[in-house]
Structure 1
Amino acid sequence: MSNNVTEKKWWQSAVVYQIYPKSFQDSNGDGVGDLRGIMERLEYLGKLGIDAIWLSPVCKSPQADNGYDISDYQDIDPMFGSVEDMEALIKEAKKYNIRIIMDLVLNHTSNKHRWFEEAKKSKDNPYHDYYVWRDGEEGVEPNDMKAVFGGSAWEWVPEIKQYYFHQFLPEQPDLNWENPQVRKEIYDMILWWMEKGVGGFRLDVIDQIAKEPDKKITINGPRLHEYFREMSKETFQKGDLITVGEAWGADPERAKLYSNPDGSEFSMVFQFEHIGLDQQEGKDKWDLAPLPFLKLKQIMNRWQTELYNCGWNSLFWNNHDLPRIVSRWGNDKEYRVESAKMLAILLHGMQGTPYIFEGEELGMTNVRYNIEDYRDVEIQNVYKERIAAGYDKEDVMNSIYAKGRDNARTPMQWDDTENAGFTTGTPWIKVNDNYKTINAKSQVDDPDSIFNCYRKLVSFRKEYPVLVDGSFKLLLAEDENIFAYERKNADETLLVVCNFYGNTVKMPLTEETEDMELLISNYKEIEDSSVLRPYEARMYYKK
């Protein structure tokens, strides 16, 4: 079954904007962003032209893991507002033709969720089987499985002499998806939000719900796609939603199941193959390595070609867990504007649904704080562990500067007033020092700004069908500097040529572009079409 024109879904020509609510806009001066603050900024997002907002988790939570530990799926955390504020945001956003996508964590709950508080009372409690328990004796764990955030994946509950399983923090007990009652509760909750007008869901670590801890299986368990299909049938297929599953364990074959055009599972999947490239082989993200550029091209090419007509891609460089792309693979000093636009043009010419992370459209950069100014538990842990293990302090800090999650979580830079216009109070995390020069106010009305480059790219998705349905062909696969590709459908051809680095290189595709129109480029004018200046990007079009 192909994604031909008659079957087009709204989200195939959509662009999604991700908001980390804590850092977007504070409406009440407490230093933390909130839902009312997002409402105040809808006009800005309307101007950018995006179709949907993905909100990082706003459900009620003790915040042991930034809201990814939900204690009530049907309430909003007071830090962000109320259910009424959420309803108002959904309604207001509609006026700008913007839908709201919620972030749902269905693999685990908070240990403060009423289900878990009941579950640990006794083995006979009706909620006990909502979670994953194993008998044992204190100090003798069911097996040697480790949690993602360190330590054992098993936690002892002395009152009932059992261990519960948690893939993340001990405060995040895993749900037992084998229990049909758990699944029913989850589906009812999803339908409840759908009735409130939510436009879709992003599903956190969703490829881990079919775990089998006795066999040490956490990802891609045997019943995974059975659960997906049941959930989709009971919920998503009853509305016109966008659904995206976060799947660190996905390859193109699995992604074809996730994003089957028949709608039996999800709209698309977040895969992370390109995101792990700049680290040392077999080590973790803190062990830095240069980006293997040819490998980046191969990976992007594989996902573009293998999912064509049988699945759907999500396109992203940034999110709340990743460093700022202009600092990571661009040049955030002398070529910040050029390289930020180049990375945008490169990604937005591909097939899939692009995701813009707050501030990406302004070219916001990484930060360099003292260790005590970072708020992320992962950063604090890695600092302690590596210093204790004898790593050089400067090396540890350089890894944190490059890869720390707080790079993405500093307050949105609205203007050059105090705290970048984010709050009248004391921000929960320090604002990036460069907000006086890098901010929305200075870019919205500047036709040559990064913001207006993104605005054009967003509008192109609606204007040129080839962006949605064209095939993908990688060009110059072995070129060490240039990332170039062609998109083609029956009527249109699109050619994207990007110099990925800071040197001037020869432009090898001059003949191909002779009869094509230049749609967008990241320099004001092209002085010499036979060369590409540092980070120069061009998008050509022919009907």
Structure 2
Amino acid sequence: MAQSEPLMPGPEGKIPKLYDVEKGHKTESYIVAISGRKEKGPVVPVGRPAPLLEEAPPVAYKTVTETVVVRTTPATVGLTRDQLEQYRDDPFWKPLRWILFILFWLAWIVMFLVAILIVFLSPSCAPKTVQKWYQTKVCYQAWTPSLQDSNGDGVGDLKGATSRLEQLRKIGVQSFWLTPLLDSDQFSYAIRDHRAVDGKLGTSEDLTELIDTLHDKDMYMIMDLPVTTTSLEHEWFQRSSRASEPANQNYSSFYFWRATAPNDQFWSPLSAGVKDNFYMHYEGKPQWPILNWKSPELRQQMFDVFTYWLERGVDGFFISYVDYLGRTNDGTKPDSDSIQDVLRDIRHHIDTRKNETDSIKDKAILLFTTVQESKEKDKLALVNAGLNTVINYELGKVKLGTSVCPAGESTVTKCVNEILADVVAVHNLNEDFTPMWEFGNPYASRLASRVGNRPQAEVLTMLQLLLPGSNNFYYGEEIGMRDLTTGETPQRGAMLWDDSVNAGFSTANVSLPISEDFKNINFAKQYSQETSPVKMFKKLAKLRQRDETLILGKSFVGKPVGQAFIFSRYRRENETTIGKLYVGAVNLGLEATSLSLSDIPGLKADMWPKAEVVTKTSNVVDYEVRQKKDLSSGILNIGPEQGVVLRF
């Protein structure tokens, strides 16, 4: 190409390579198409491959830039329409086409059916287990008169409890259990009216507000419902004691009556000097008469009480003194068969009523109790009879020098370890048997006082939060409250909310004792600190709500090493660890201890370098939350009176 020839349009003003452009019925080069300038001349090869099909003779054109070849449309290839028509009705090809057509659709249908069979016959994924609300929740049990006073009369009340719910929700509390609640003699199980709120605690409207507030916060309401005892002032007892009157005849069988008393521990005369009218009562408590559940009239009345509270929005019931639902004739021992029959009837009534009521039809209603000195088989029998769970009372008795923790040990490590090993083994074998744990309640000395000090109590609280199933925490345990130094019930002191007057419990000059150290030990101060008992509590309580290992996982209790041991939660499928694995190291002794990781189920050596600190007790200095720890040595070191939780 001569240097004087002008450049044609193209990338960066360069002459574009030759390529074809469709134009009508023929193909032209790009340059010819855009310039429209053609000039005949000799053919110049452009490096294109020789045609594969016979084509019309090429016509050469010469443009101002280069010579190109433009070819006409290729000749027709294959059979023409007229040639194909002769095969339309051919006796050989027509049947063949139909056979092939039918075979195609038969093959397609067979493949479709095979695909359906594969879907249905292939092993399905295991359905995800959905736990009921009470099976994993952190429950907060409060002695109502000591939680929060709202009106300045020096007594905790329902409005006060409602005002503290948000603080409890923030630390991971999911269900709320108030004791006492019903109208009774001096806040006891001597109930005067099973449908009435104790006037010293508030009104029926206050209780409605409390229940509604709990539900608005996705929390649950649990109440004590004494179904075995009443007050001597209860209407039922008053009318039963005068059953000779026609108006009271239907109440004659509501209690146990005898003309002579088999003993004076369980039987008392209706009035002094009366020798032919004795009633059965709780052992050593004549003011607590026992209800007779063998009476059809009494059963119906109690069923109506359950219905009343279900309709009020209560989510769960603690049945106190369940061993008095059925007694031997002299009243001295429980009748297991009668007790289980009553529990079946209660469960049947609740389930029937629930299914008939749209507002609670989809709600799981919790029924539970505690039975002192019961064996695991006894607890399991009660669950099979209708209860959802039975509290493991043993931890509430952890104290040196008792039948649970014999003297001779320096800490409660050994007895706690043995209790957990025994109970966890039962629950691992009976997965439908939901465990429920507590270290404290309104009738037991506070944990920090029983085990010796607050650091050890905090370690045990951390351990409790790792346990499977439901956990009950007595109010104040989350901050390490101790027993009062005065009073008949030292475990029922005012809750230590902050460092203001009366620890934030009341504005009145209260007669209820306040712990002397409330300026340093209180909820508000610990919540504001980065590391504290309540912050450790919050971390694990919140984690339990969402982590499947803590919700569904099995448990492993390691053997004690000195005054320390390991507790682990893990999930296994087909001999493989799935999800996260948690290891809690607890040391109640006064010396640092090294614990081996080698015996923990599912924790392989290649996981040891990949530990992460989840939380710790407030006195730990060698571990930091969210810190990555390389434990390649297979040894976990834990300091004195310390606890730490690691995640693998």
Which category of TM-score, normalised to the shorter sequence, fits these structures? 0.7 to 0.9
Aligned ranges 1:55-454 → 2 under 5 Å: 55-63=178-186, 66-123=187-244, 125-136=249-260, 141-143=261-263, 146=265, 153-157=267-271, 161-168=276-283, 169-214=285-330, 216-218=332-334, 221-235=336-350, 238=354, 239-260=363-384, 265-278=386-399, 280=401, 293-308=413-428, 309-331=431-453, 336=454, 338-369=455-486, 374=487, 376=488, 406-454=489-537
What letter matches 2:262 in structure 1? P
Q: Is the 8 A contact 1:248 1:271 kept in 2?
A: no
| Aligned counterparts of 1:132 and 1:49: Cα–Cα separation in 2 | 45
| Aligned counterparts of 1:349 and 1:467: Cα–Cα separation in 2 | 7
Q: Is the 8 A contact 2:565 2:595 kept in 1?
A: no
Aligned with residue 176 of structure 2, among 25, 44, 53:
53
What letter matches 1:321 in structure 2? Y
Q: Is the 8 A contact 1:19 1:55 kept in 2?
A: yes
Aligned ranges 1:490-505 → 2 under 5 Å: 490=572, 491-492=578-579, 493-505=581-593
Q: TM-score, normalised by structure 2?
A: 0.70
Following superposition, the deviation at residue 255 of structure 1 comes to: 1.8
| Aligned counterparts of 1:4 and 1:199: Cα–Cα separation in 2 | 26
CA distance 1:425–1:496, change in 2 (3 Å): same
Aligned with residue 613 of structure 2, among 502, 506, 518:
518
Offset from partner CA, 1:51-80 (integer Å, 9 cap, x none): 1100112111121xx332110010101100
Following superposition, the deviation at residue 266 of structure 1 comes to: 1.8
| Aligned counterparts of 1:90 and 1:484: Cα–Cα separation in 2 | 39
- Count of residue pairs the alignment pairs up: 483
Following superposition, the deviation at residue 221 of structure 1 comes to: 2.8
Considering only aligned residues, what root-mean-square deviation do their CA atoms show, in Å? 2.7
CA distance 1:267–1:288, change in 2 (3 Å): farther
Larger CA deviation: 72-81 vs 356-365: 356-365
CA distance 1:276–1:449, change in 2 (3 Å): closer
Q: Is the 8 A contact 1:294 1:480 kept in 2?
A: no
Aligned with residue 637 of structure 2, among 527, 531, 535:
531
1:6 alignment partner, SS class: coil
| Aligned counterparts of 2:596 and 2:328: Cα–Cα separation in 1 | 52
Larger CA deviation: 231-240 vs 101-110: 231-240
Offset from partner CA, 1:237-261 (integer Å, 9 cap, x none): 624222221221432112223335x
| Aligned counterparts of 1:155 and 1:164: Cα–Cα separation in 2 | 6
User: Which of structures 1 and 2 has the larger relative contact order (alpha carbons within 8 angstroms, sep 6+)?
Assistant: 1
Offset from partner CA, 1:217-250 (integer Å, 9 cap, x none): 23x5321111111101101562422222122143
Aligned with residue 163 of structure 2, among 26, 40, 45:
40
What letter matches 1:56 in structure 2? T
Offset from partner CA, 1:24-46 (integer Å, 9 cap, x none): 00011111000011111122112
Q: Is the 8 A contact 2:325 2:339 kept in 1?
A: yes
Residue 390 of structure 1 corresponds to none
Q: Is the 8 A contact 1:32 1:428 kept in 2?
A: no
Q: Is the 8 A contact 1:121 1:160 kept in 2?
A: no
Offset from partner CA, 1:320-344 (integer Å, 9 cap, x none): 111221222252xxxx3x4343112
Following superposition, the deviation at residue 127 of structure 1 comes to: 1.3
Residue 23 of structure 1 corresponds to 146
2:610 alignment partner, SS class: coil
| Aligned counterparts of 2:161 and 2:297: Cα–Cα separation in 1 | 35
Residue 134 of structure 2 corresponds to 11
Q: Is the 8 A contact 1:412 1:422 kept in 2?
A: yes
CA distance 1:123–1:504, change in 2 (3 Å): farther
What letter matches 1:10 in structure 2? W
- Higher-Rg member (1/2): 2
Q: Is the 8 A contact 1:59 1:67 kept in 2?
A: no
What letter matches 1:226 in structure 2? D
The answer to whether structure 1 residue 540 and structure 2 residue 540 are counterparts is no
What letter matches 2:522 in structure 1? N
What letter matches 2:364 in structure 1? D
CA distance 1:182–1:288, change in 2 (3 Å): farther
CA distance 1:7–1:155, change in 2 (3 Å): farther
Q: Is the 8 A contact 2:568 2:583 kept in 1?
A: yes
CA distance 1:103–1:473, change in 2 (3 Å): same
| Aligned counterparts of 1:131 and 1:412: Cα–Cα separation in 2 | 38
Q: TM-score, normalised by structure 1?
A: 0.83
2:521 alignment partner, SS class: coil
CA distance 1:288–1:4, change in 2 (3 Å): farther
- What 5-or-longer segments of structure 1 have no aligned partner? 148-152, 377-405
Q: Give identity over the alignment, percent.
A: 26
Q: Is the 8 A contact 2:393 2:438 kept in 1?
A: no
